[in-house]
Amino acid sequence: MRFLADESCDFTAVTALRTAGHNVSAVGEISPGAKDPVVLAACPF
């Protein structure tokens, strides 16, 4: 399953999902502080 974790998402959840084998993109890693339209445009899904 694929997830897009917002910056406000606890990174522990991102790590747990990745450990469970899920594909997780974290906004904090991709483009911290970006506006929603920019985040959605950059989302690899």
DSSP helix/strand/coil, 41: helix
Q: What whole-number distance in Å separates Cα of residue 31 and Cα of residue 42?
A: 9
Which residue segment(s) compose the domain that 23 sits in?
Answer: 2-42
> For residue 14, what are its two tokens?
């991102």
Average pLDDT over residues 15-42: 89
pTM: 0.75
Q: What is the mean pLDDT of residues 17-26?
A: 95
The C-alpha atoms of residue 7 and residue 34 are separated, in whole angstroms, by 9
pLDDT band at 39 (very low <50, low <70, confident <90, very high): confident
**Residue written as tokens 């897009």?**
4
How many domains, the chain? 1
Q: Residue range 13-39: average pLDDT?
A: 91
Average pLDDT value for residue range 12-38: 92
Whole-angstrom Cα Rg for the chain? 10
Residue among 15, 30, 45 nearest 6 (CA) = 30
